[in-house]
Structure 1
Amino acid sequence: MQLTFTEITQWLGVLWWPFVRLTGLFLIAPFFGDNAIPLRVKLLFAFIFSLLLAPLVHEVPPFNPFSIDTLLFSLYQLIFGFLVGFAVMIFFTIFSIAGQAISMQMGLAMAVMNDPANGISIAIIGRIMFITSMLLFLSLDAHLVVLLVFKESFTYWPLDSTFPFSSIDYVLKMVSWMFATGLLVAVPAIVVMLLSNITFGLMNKAAPSLNVFALGFPMTMLLGLFALMASLTGIGDHYFDLVLELNQHLHYMLRLPNV
Structure 2
Amino acid sequence: MIALSSSQIEHWIGAFFWPFVRILAFLSTAPVFSATQIPIQVRVGLAVLLSVALTPALPEMPPVEFLSGDGLLLLLEQILIGVSIGFAVTLIFSAVQFAGSVISLQMGLGFSTFFDPQTGVEIPTISNFLNLIVLLLFMALNGQLLTLVVLDRSFTIFPVSTQLQLHANAWHSLVAAGGMVFALGLAIALPVLGALLLINIALGVLSKLAPQLNLFVIGFPLLIILGFVALALLMPAMPVLVQHLLNVSLQLSNQVLLQAARG
Smaller-chain TM-score range? over 0.9
Give the corresponding residue for 1:19.
20
TM-score under structure 2 normalisation?
A: 0.93
> C-alpha distance in 2, partners of 1:66/1:97?
42
Identity %: 33
TM-score under structure 1 normalisation?
A: 0.94
Give the corresponding residue for 2:10.
9
Say if 2:188 is the partner of 1:182.
no
> Residues 108-139 of structure 1, C-alpha deviation per residue, up to 9 Å, x if partnerless?
00011122432322000101111111111111
Asked whether the 8 Å contact 1:102–1:228 carries over to 2, the reply is no
> C-alpha distance in 1, partners of 2:189/2:128?
14
Say if 2:247 is the partner of 1:237.
no
Q: 1:56 to 1:164 in 2, by over 3 A?
A: farther
> C-alpha distance in 2, partners of 1:238/1:57?
35
Say if 2:173 is the partner of 1:170.
yes
Aligned 1:72-221 pairs, distance under 5 A: 72-160=73-161, 161=163, 162-221=165-224
> C-alpha distance in 1, partners of 2:37/2:221?
36
Asked whether the 8 Å contact 1:30–1:88 carries over to 2, the reply is yes
Which stretch of structure 1 is more off in the superposition, 73-82 or 182-191?
A: 73-82
Structure 2 residue matching 1:87: 3-state secondary structure? helix
Relative contact order higher in (CA < 8 Å, ≥ 6 apart)? 2
Asked whether the 8 Å contact 1:186–1:231 carries over to 2, the reply is no
Asked whether the 8 Å contact 1:106–1:220 carries over to 2, the reply is yes
Q: Which amino acid aligns with 2:159?
A: P
Asked whether the 8 Å contact 2:23–2:51 carries over to 1, the reply is yes
Q: Which amino acid aligns with 1:40?
A: Q
Aligned 1:49-68 pairs, distance under 5 A: 49-68=50-69
Asked whether the 8 Å contact 1:185–1:231 carries over to 2, the reply is no
Structure 1: runs of 5 or more not aligned: none
> C-alpha distance in 1, partners of 2:50/2:212?
68
Aligned 1:36-55 pairs, distance under 5 A: 36-55=37-56
Which stretch of structure 1 is more off in the superposition, 20-29 or 245-254?
A: 245-254
> C-alpha distance in 1, partners of 2:64/2:21?
12
> C-alpha distance in 2, partners of 1:234/1:109?
24
Asked whether the 8 Å contact 2:96–2:130 carries over to 1, the reply is yes
Q: Which amino acid aligns with 1:247?
A: L
Asked whether the 8 Å contact 1:156–1:258 carries over to 2, the reply is no
> C-alpha distance in 2, partners of 1:60/1:28?
24
- RMSD of Structure 2 on Structure 1 (CA): 1.6
Structure 2: runs of 5 or more not aligned: none
Q: Which amino acid aligns with 1:190?
A: L
Say if 2:253 is the partner of 1:253.
no
Structure 1 residue matching 2:90: 3-state secondary structure? helix
